[in-house]
Structure 1
Amino acid sequence: MTNEQKKKLEQQLWNIANELRGKMSADEFRDYILGFIFYKYLSEKQYIFANKLLETESIKDYALVQDQEDIEAIKEESLEKLGYFLTPDELFSAITAKGNIKIDEDDEAEVGNFILDDLQSILNAIEQSTMGHESEDDFIGLFEDLDLSNSKLGKKPKDRNDLIAKVLAHLDKIDFELDKVDADVLGDAYEYLISQFASGAGKKAGEFYTPQQVSRILAKLVTLGKGQVKNVYDPACGSGSLLLRIAKEAKVGEFYGQELNRTTYNLCRMNMILHDVHFSQFSIEQEDTLEKPQHEGMEFEAVVVNPPFSAKWKGDDNPLNETDDRFAQYGKLAPKTKADFAFVQHVIHQMADNGTAAIVLPHGVLFRGAAEGVIREYIIKEQNYLDAVIGLPPNIFYGTSIPACILVLKKCRVHEENILFIDASREFEKKANQNTLTDSHVAKIMQTYEERKDVEKYATVAPISEVRENGYNLNIPRYIDTFEEEEPVDLDAITRELVALEGKMAEADTIIAGFCEQLGIASPFGSKD
């Protein structure tokens, strides 16, 4: 599929999403359209898989199969390979045809039969087909946010049916071509939709999406010099875009993530499956990472995370935190109103000895004192895990305009005697209300990190001794001088300009006074006598 065809697919899906615009908020209609796309994806995947099994049979089209023994045989194979199962009458095309939906040239839908009850039953059946199988945890509850009785879809059942039927009809006209193109094409289109929803979702956007260019930087940082990584982990995984981005930089064995928000957790699992990550290759859990970590005892080679900035957590209100292996050795717990360093400590605890972590955090973690200062000093002085600090521009994250930074952590550092500081805060492209990083900005950051040498007004390799002298304060201006000397002012030239302006003003006053005399009115400058 060409880049032009890819963009066409993205635009087609976005146009269909807009069928729901105006009915509900961006984050609400996001869940419906992404859910329906996911259902169509599962359906097409099932159809292609079943047809391959039917190549030696008399009936080769799965949609036409009625023999129950054949269906049961296909079900058994599907659950083992795909992790789920749809019967022929549960396919996306079947429910669309059952609704007798026709769209004329004016793009107006004529809806025949009522299909919402059937559609709800199908979505439930997909989840239930996985029960008792290895894929159960990855599918259960996936469609729970698709409430087809939601009055925002229409006050009356018929209104809701008409709207959903129209959306399904438009989707049915698009061939995802799963048997012809790379799975990432549809996955990328899905990511495009998620990013579009994020741009219009305000503060809620930060809960589920990290801007693509920031994701690229994090993924490149944790895979630098590696063609493959054993496992990757994101303890605040949102929609899973950060985890999936790593797979574009290196071959990934297994994906692990945890997410607090139930809706976003479902979106992440859908995103994994839709990117053709096999159910046996990922483990996404839903819980509070700091209070109830779900992957305790595991170690990860690559860790990326963009946790909620300065979130509240129980801190010392939970006595278990004082003895928790993740936090106990530091002497202090992160403040209850700022969980930033609690996430850092959690990441360090679960990072493998050969691992690298890249964490997005607010600038405050670099210089705030009290408990955070104690933790920061321990990480640098006792553990010596901090490899680099990268300052990012303001207003590049959805939902907040504050500048952020990336901390790069390694348990087995090559450069033990220094810390690299990069100030990329002044280099960005302004687009509407959101600043963005271009490919060249990303390339410069990565080249600077890899070469690890001083770049005037941009990067400094600071000895640990200098960091110690600064009281383990990591505020970037302490290490990188970005002062721009102003050009000298020619006072004589300015004086000459002022004298010339005075002369011109006097001439103008004389002209105006002459006009006033001709008109027989008083001059605004009074008498010149």
Structure 2
Amino acid sequence: MTQVQLQQLQKQLWNIANDLRGKMGADEFRDYMLGFIFFKYLSEKSVNFANGLLKDEGEDITFLELHESNDEHVPYIEAIKTNSISEVGYALSPSQLFHSIAERGRQGEFILDDIAATLKAIEQSTLGSDSADDFANLFEDLDLNSTKLGNTANDRNELIAKILSHLDKIDFDISNTESDVLGDAYEYLIGEFASGAGKKAGEFYTPQTVSTLLAKIVTQGKERLRSVYDPTCGSGSLLLRVKREVQDVDMIYGQEMNRTTYNLARMNMILHDVHFAKFDIKQEDTLIRPQHLDKCFDAVVANPPFSAKWSADPLFLQDERFSAFGKLAPSSKADMAFVQHMLYQLDENGTMAVVLPHGVLFRGSSEGVIRQYLIEQLNVIDTIIGLPANIFYGTSIPTCVLVLKKNREHTDNILFIDASNDFEKQKNQNKLLPEHLDNIIGAFENRQDIEKYAKVASLAEVQANDYNLNIPRYVDTFEAEDEIDLDAIAKQLQDLEVNSQATDKVIADFCKKLGIDSPFAEAK
């Protein structure tokens, strides 16, 4: 599929979402829209898999032509189900396929109960199999009885039937193994819903350009990865972006605290054709209950919630992730706690890249102690990259990327890159463009001083700055035209003084007419 065709598909999907969402907010309707797209994907994958089996057996019939009520067809359907569960991780009957239900909806039938039963059947088909954890409660956010879909059951049925009918007409072209059209369209919608969801968007989505930057950093010089991990994986887009940058990733790991977003991440993996045996996404609070603590990873990436609150319980000083530092990140700002956690799970030869608010570079107290330990004792901070302000949904603050390595090649310096002015201003927020990414990655790979953009600072220089990593201390972006004109400032101050004296006189004359003392009488 060409880029033009992909854009047309994205437009079709967004128009469906925009026309049908009614009074729901973007983040609410998202669960339905993306859930039904996922259901369509599972159905089409089932059809392709079943048709392949039937063709291999020399049968001149398609899966959609099989009927559960036909005794001659039942053995085929059961055999296909058995093979489907072991190969693709779930099973559907012909009557449960997306197209079959959408067609009944077009005929005016009541289909809500059929949809609910089918989604439940998908989950139950995996029980006792290796894919059970990946499909458990996957559709729990699709509440077909919600009054937000309509006041009556018939109203809700009519709306859902319309959604299914529209989606049924779109060819996702999943038979093309070289194409990831559906996955791309899915990611596109996640991004659009994130834009509409405002502050809530930060819980589940990292802008593609930022994901690409982190992915290129952690895969630099590598063609494959044994593992990649994101402790705050949101919708999983960042993990998938890392997968795209190499030929293969043996295993993808992630953890997400929000239940709805956790379901979204699992759907996103499956939609991008990541086999159920090749990803392990868990739902829990990473800092309090980490689910993969026994593992280390080739690549670790994250966009944690900025300055989130956490318990900072003193008991964590006995936790191996934090104990060596002697200090915990403050309860009001968990940023450094995520850094410590990620570093603990980084392989000796791995690379870690994390997006954080600028404050982690210079804040004092316990964060300053942790930062100094990372530099002075562990020497793991490799690169600091300053990003533009207002490139994330729901916040306008400037951010930075910290790149950490346990086995650094450049042990006597830290690279600073100031990309804060590299963006295109758009309607609601700024955007990194491909050429901006090229500039950053070029500077990261070449590791040389670039005037007003990059600086290779010695550890001695960092130490002289009391381990303050604020980028302007190292990258001089001062422009000549910004030089202070002292004569002009003196003239402005003189004008202000004259104006002030004139104002004082007016007030004094007014007070005299009123027969009261002027507040400036003593001054005169």
Same fold (TM over 0.5): yes
Specify the alignment match of 2:250 in structure 1.
253
Specify the alignment match of 1:61 in structure 2.
62
Verify the 8 A CA contact 2:228 2:298 in the aligned structure 1.
yes
Within 2, Cα distance between the matches of 1:483 and 1:78? Answer: 63
Match of 1:171 among 167, 172, 180: 167
Verify the 8 A CA contact 1:19 1:167 in the aligned structure 2.
no
Question: Mean Cα displacement is larger for which, 177-186 or 69-78?
Answer: 177-186
Specify the alignment match of 2:356 in structure 1.
361
Deviations along 1:111-160, one digit per CA (max 9) or x if unpaired, are x1111011100011001100110000001111100000000000011110
Where does 1:177-216 land on structure 2 (aligned, <5 Å)?
177-180=173-176, 182-216=178-212
TM normalised by structure 1 equals: 0.89
Within 1, Cα distance between the matches of 2:459 and 2:435? Answer: 30
Specify the alignment match of 1:508 in structure 2.
none
Within 2, Cα distance between the matches of 1:353 and 1:334? Answer: 24
Within 1, Cα distance between the matches of 2:215 and 2:472? Answer: 26
Q: Are residue 72 (structure 1) and residue 81 (structure 2) matched?
A: no
SS in 2 for 1:19: helix
Verify the 8 A CA contact 1:183 1:275 in the aligned structure 2.
no
Where does 1:198-277 land on structure 2 (aligned, <5 Å)?
198-250=194-246, 251-277=248-274
Q: Are residue 370 (structure 1) and residue 376 (structure 2) matched?
A: no
SS in 2 for 1:280: helix
1:156 partner letter: T
Within 1, Cα distance between the matches of 2:106 and 2:307? Answer: 52
Within 2, Cα distance between the matches of 1:394 and 1:432? Answer: 14
Specify the alignment match of 2:327 in structure 1.
332
Report how far residue 11 of structure 1 moved.
1.1
Verify the 8 A CA contact 2:381 2:405 in the aligned structure 1.
yes
Report how far residue 9 of structure 1 moved.
1.1
Specify the alignment match of 2:301 in structure 1.
304
Q: Are residue 285 (structure 1) and residue 291 (structure 2) matched?
A: no
Report how far residue 99 of structure 1 moved.
2.2
Within 1, Cα distance between the matches of 2:97 and 2:156? Answer: 21
Report how far residue 37 of structure 1 moved.
0.3
Which consecutive aligned stretches of 4+ in structure 1 deviate over 6 angstroms post-superposition?
none
SS in 2 for 1:273: helix
Match of 2:131 among 129, 135, 147: 135
SS in 2 for 1:201: helix
1:241 partner letter: S
Specify the alignment match of 2:518 in structure 1.
none
Match of 1:90 among 96, 99, 102: 96
Within 1, Cα distance between the matches of 2:3 and 2:473? Answer: 45
What number of residue pairs does the alignment pair up? Answer: 481
Deviations along 1:492-526, one digit per CA (max 9) or x if unpaired, are 9xx9xxxxxxxxxxxxxxxxxxxxxxxxxxxxxxx
Within 1, Cα distance between the matches of 2:371 and 2:106? Answer: 63
Within 1, Cα distance between the matches of 2:386 and 2:15? Answer: 37
Within 2, Cα distance between the matches of 1:4 and 1:439? Answer: 18
Report how far residue 180 of structure 1 moved.
3.0
- CA-atom RMSD in angstroms: 1.6
Where does 1:17-28 land on structure 2 (aligned, <5 Å)?
17-28=17-28
Unaligned runs of 5+ in 2: 68-72, 492-524
Where does 1:352-431 land on structure 2 (aligned, <5 Å)?
352-431=347-426
Match of 2:152 among 153, 156, 169: 156
Within 2, Cα distance between the matches of 1:182 and 1:154? Answer: 40
Deviations along 1:46-99, one digit per CA (max 9) or x if unpaired, are 001001111134452111223222111111110111000001110011111222
2:201 partner letter: A
Specify the alignment match of 1:81 in structure 2.
87
Deviations along 1:225-254, one digit per CA (max 9) or x if unpaired, are 111111100000000000000112112111
SS in 2 for 1:54: helix
SS in 2 for 1:18: helix
TM normalised by structure 2 equals: 0.90
